[in-house]
Structure formats: C-alpha cells, structure tokens
Amino acid sequence: QSALTQPPSASGSPGQSVTISCTGTSGDVGGYKYVSWYQQHLGKAPKLMIYEVNKRPSGVPDRFSGSKSGNTASLTVSGLQAEDEADYFCVSYAGINDLIFGGGTKLTVL
C-alpha cells in the first residue's frame, strides 16, 4: 500500500491562496468520501482541518476548504496568514478498515 502523493512543498504570500493536492487511486481517495486534512506545526500534534472531503470542524476558519475530483483531493487555503505556515497532510479511507496517509506538504508563507 503506497502513501498518497502530495507535493513536498507549497508557498504563497500573505493574502494569497494556495492549493495542496493529494493523489491516490480509485481504491482510496477516488472511492470514498472519507478524505481528511490535518495541519501540523513543528513539534506539535496534528489538528483536523477538513473531513469528509469538504467539511470543516467547529473552530476551523472558513479560509480552509476542501474538494475532490476523481482520485485527487485538494486543500485550499485562502487569504494566507503567517500562522498557516505548517505541514499539511491528507488521510483517506482505503476500504476494509484501512487508512492511508499522504506524505505531507510543507506550506511556507513568504
């Protein structure tokens, strides 16, 4: 089982929008609605930002949004802020009680 594919890095200036992709297969991302995204600041625990492709937990700013097309899910951060600089990774259900992680993307706010 291979990890979901994410770009290793992404960047944008304050106020801009950045989109991070997460590519899998029809057996995971493309086959289920259970794609979630997490933010992880250095040395901290991950935080759930998006679940079920495009739902935001309470307390997550609406600058964070999710979508999916085919086997690729995406996380978009709009109106970038300095505190958005972190690692982001995706997770997808892969059937038969299995979960698969993305490799992670380091987001830099220029």
Where do contacts with other proteins occur on this chain (CB under 8 A)?
A: 1, 3, 32, 34, 36, 38, 44-48, 51-52, 57, 89, 91, 93, 97-104
CB of 81 to other proteins, least distance (A): 22
Shortest CB 85 distance to other proteins, Å: 17
Q: Which residues, in sequence order, are CB contacts of 72 under 8 Å at separation 6+?
A: 21, 22, 23, 24, 29
User: Which of 80, 52, 47 shows the shortest CA–CA distance to 64?
Assistant: 80
Instruction: Collapse the DSSP code of 83 into the 3-class scheme (helix H, G, I; strand E, B; otherwise coil) and give the result.
Output: helix
Of 17 and 41, the one with the shorter C-beta distance to other proteins is: 41
- Tokens standing for residue 7: 């770009």
51 or 64: whose CB is closer to other proteins? 51
Of 80 and 105, nearer to other proteins (C-beta) is 105
